[in-house]
Amino acid sequence: MRLSRYFLPVLKETPSEAQIVSHRYMLRAGMIKQASAGIYSWLPLGYKVLRRIEEIVHEEQQRAGHIPMLMPTIQSADLWRESGRYDDYGQEMLRITDRQGRDMLFGPTNEELITDIFRANVSSYKDLPLTLYHIQWKFRDEMRPRFGVMRGREFLMKDGYNFDLTKEDALHAYNRHLVTYLRTYERLGLQAIPMRADGGPIGGDYTHEFLVLADTGESEVFYDSDITDLKFGDRAIDYDSVEECEAVLSEFTSRYARTDETHDEAEFAKVPAERQRSARGIEVGQIFYFGTKYSEAMGATVQGPDGKPVPVHMGSHGIGVSRLLGAIIEASHDDKGIIWPEGVTPFHCGIVNLRQGDADTDAACESLETALTNAGLEPLYDDRNERAGGKFATMDLIGLPWRITVGPRGLKNGVVEVTSRRTGESEEMTAEAAVARIAAIYGR
Ligand code: ATP
Ligand code: MG
């Protein structure tokens, strides 16, 4: 992509309404524009990262055998009356009346809709286990939308729902989701710690929230510092193996890690004093097992092996896809701007032309752009007639992890410069070597 043809409305001034760094940088880097309180347009750069996160979430869900689908944003109130949540949900629910006078709502979540789909189509235990998920916009009329996409009113969520014959099967689905989430967050360049959470109106002991530690997080958390050494890494896992998934769950949840809602001073005191930590965290996901709550209320039963109808055991599992952009930036930035992890970067690298209009330099940049593209990479070439300082500032702000700088002086010696956004370190090499280097970083 040529920057001169792209739409990247970078702001010079720091917007005064933004209180936290991720919100400031998302506005300044031209990633989002507020449409109304807590509702955003996703400008091209922000949209690219959002899509990249979605792709990773899809890949990891499908790796575990979960099936993608898409449910609507607008739902009928009748289903929510069946579950009893139409009245319970309160003012966070955006209620709408259509021209026929029917009560509708903009879905804040999808348990009712998916249960309705399930009961209409599945009647035998032989069709279980089943996990369906989608990535869809949600609306919650939050009292205080703030911090940009972190606490929006309209936001993108991956929500998945498992249907199982027994509690044991449903707990395996729970553990399996925990594993998929660990992998997903690590691929996004994040450490998200599963913490024992409060079931809220859903109830039950089986719920974990995934938290990214950050001073600007809205949750208060308490944990054993040993937990931050755990890495899921690149291990192969058989998602059908109850033992393997259980082992990961116990590895990642046996140390003390809780949100303030479930924090227990007496338990926490058992952690050696030098490992006790309290901090702030951003909730980027949550998993639940809630048994037969919805299946009983809505008549989602299957015929069991003995021919008798049994209500299915269910769980729901959410990832805050749009909130993740904010969380990643909170975890990865410096005073010049964003530093994207390679897994989610909107462009693989930037190309900065130090002498736009100089025939040799322009030609070198163009052939670099072609070579990178042929290697399966997507570079952003800053071909504007701007001073070098301005080009560097833009690249630093938008946070591409790698930059190739091309100027007449280097070209005379047959080299370009490759710079890491994270370390700031530069290395001179031939253009061919630069392409090979970037390709290798991305495994191309
Ligand atoms: P919170 O406690 O932050 O209000 P929640 O527990 O109500 O969130 P869930 O129902 O667990 O949210 O939704 C799953 C995920 O969706 C959350 O873990 C979070 O990452 C994301 N999410 C929830 N509310 C918002 C919001 N208002 N804006 C952006 N993302 C959100
Ligand atoms: Mg939650």
- pLDDT tens by residue, 343-379: 999 999 999 999 999 999 999 999 999 999 999 999 9
- How many Å apart are CA 411 and CA 151, to the nearest integer? 48
Q: What residue type is assigned to position 16 of the chain?
A: S
Is there an atom of ligand 1 within 6 Å of 318 CB? yes
User: Over the stretch 237-273, which tens digit does the pLDDT of each residue have?
Assistant: 999 999 999 999 999 999 999 999 999 999 999 999 9
Indicate which CATH number applies to the domain containing 432: 3.40.50.800
Helix ranges (DSSP H) in 67-126: 77-83, 85-88, 111-121
- Cα separations (Å) of 440 from 224, 366, 431? 37, 21, 14
Report which protein residue has its CA nearest ligand 1's atom 2. 283
- How many Å apart are CA 17 and CA 334, to the nearest integer? 20
Question: What is the domain extent for residue 381?
Answer: 349-441
Give residue 140 CA to ligand 1 midpoint distance, Å.
9
Is there an atom of ligand 1 within 6 Å of 285 CB? yes
What proportions of the chain, in percent to the nearest 5, are helix, strand and coil? Answer: 40, 30, 35
Report which protein residue has its CA nearest ligand 1's atom 1. 283
Q: Is residue 4 part of a domain?
A: no
Domain check: are 36 and 105 in the same one? yes
Tell me which ligand sits closest to the C-alpha of residue 197. 2
Report which protein residue has its CA nearest ligand 1's atom 6. 286
Indicate which CATH number applies to the domain containing 76: 3.30.930.10
* The pLDDT value given to residue 17: 86
0.95 surpassed by pTM: yes
Task: Look at strands 402-406 and 276-291 and give their pairing.
Answer: unpaired
Number of H helices, E strands in the chain: 14, 23
* The pLDDT value given to residue 37: 97
Tell me which ligand sits closest to the C-alpha of residue 111. 1
Q: Is residue 2 part of a domain?
A: no
Domain check: are 414 and 308 in the same one? no
Q: Is residue 48 part of a domain?
A: yes
Q: Is residue 93 part of a domain?
A: yes
Is there an atom of ligand 1 within 6 Å of 316 CB? no
* Nearest atom (ligand 1) to Cα of 159: 14
Domain check: are 72 and 91 in the same one? yes
* The pLDDT value given to residue 200: 67
Domain check: are 101 and 139 in the same one? yes
Average pLDDT over residues 119-124: 96
Domain check: are 416 and 283 in the same one? no
Q: Is residue 232 part of a domain?
A: yes
Give residue 156 CA to ligand 1 midpoint distance, Å.
10
Q: Is residue 1 part of a domain?
A: no
Domain check: are 310 and 374 in the same one? no
Give residue 180 CA to ligand 1 midpoint distance, Å.
18
- How many Å apart are CA 338 and CA 399, to the nearest integer? 4
* The pLDDT value given to residue 198: 82
> Which helix (H) or strand (E) covers residue 350, if one does?
strand 349-353
- How many Å apart are CA 320 and CA 281, to the nearest integer? 14
Give residue 198 CA to ligand 2 midpoint distance, Å.
9
Is there an atom of ligand 1 within 6 Å of 138 CB? no
Is there an atom of ligand 1 within 6 Å of 75 CB? no
Mean pLDDT of the chain: 96
Q: Is residue 160 part of a domain?
A: yes
Overall number of domains in the chain: 2
Domain check: are 185 and 301 in the same one? yes
